[in-house]
Amino acid sequence: HRFPLLGRVIDTGAEIDWRRDYVHQVSTGPVYARRIPYLDFARAGDHKFVWELNRHQHLVLLAQAWLFTSDGRYRDEIFGQLENWLDQNPFLKGMNWASSLEVAFRSLSWVWVYHWTGHAMERGLRRRFLEELYRHAVYLEHNLSIHFSPNTHLLGEAAALHALGTLFPAWPGSHRRRRLGREIVLAQMDSQVLPDGFHFERSVYYHVYALDMFVLHHLLEPAP
């Protein structure tokens, strides 16, 4: 439970407080996400440290470690962290439901985790996990960044929405979410890519970020 985050290393101890900024030692409660003052440093700490951990990209590394080594400790750690996260972050409550892009990033991590470890999940956890992932898809569909940061945020959310609609076709509304995600990604390809092929923000990082999202979309739905 030592995590390198944004140039720092945090130590959470035995149980992770998923709503805590460990760098500045500030936690927020499980209240309705719209009431979380995540931009108020004094009340919420630095939300970037909270959200970076809750993207769950480290769970993807643990899943890879389990596949390569067959060491059950990696698998058990994944499942323990997921159950702990689900307990602490009820739908729409708390800091980790305050940003649609963070929901999208976490969804993509969860897709990989489920792809590699879902077959090993105990039945109760698998059902609970998939129900929560479905809620992530519903959340994204109704909270896209159309008006706030309708560029890189919107692209990431749409790519995740398309992925969830594509990879879980049996879910109610998946066809609609897949179509909506696809439409937005293609529209952003036109609006965010300049005639010279570079990202419109003229940032190498954002160029790579956008390229990642476009490639993911293409792999899931190749052009005709």
pLDDT digits (tens, 9 = 90+) for 36-85: 999 999 999 999 999 999 999 999 999 999 999 999 999 999 999 999 99
Angle at alpha carbon of residue 156, lines to 136 and 51, rounded to 5°: 65
pLDDT for res 224: 61
Span 191-203, average pLDDT: 95
Q: How many CB atoms are located within 10 Å of the residue 209 CB? A: 16
pLDDT digits (tens, 9 = 90+) for 82-109: 999 999 999 999 999 999 999 999 999 9
Closest CA to 181 of 133, 136, 140, 132: 140
User: In percent, how much of the chain has pLDDT > 90?
Assistant: 96
Residue 208 reports pLDDT greater than 80:
yes
How far, in Å, CA of 212 to CA of 194, rounded? 17
Q: Quick check: helix, strand or coil at residue 83?
A: helix
User: In percent, how much of the chain has pLDDT > 70?
Assistant: 99
pLDDT for res 148: 82
HSE-up of 85 (CA within 13 Å, CB side)?
23
pLDDT for res 149: 78
pTM of the shown model = 0.96
pLDDT band at 223 (very low <50, low <70, confident <90, very high): low
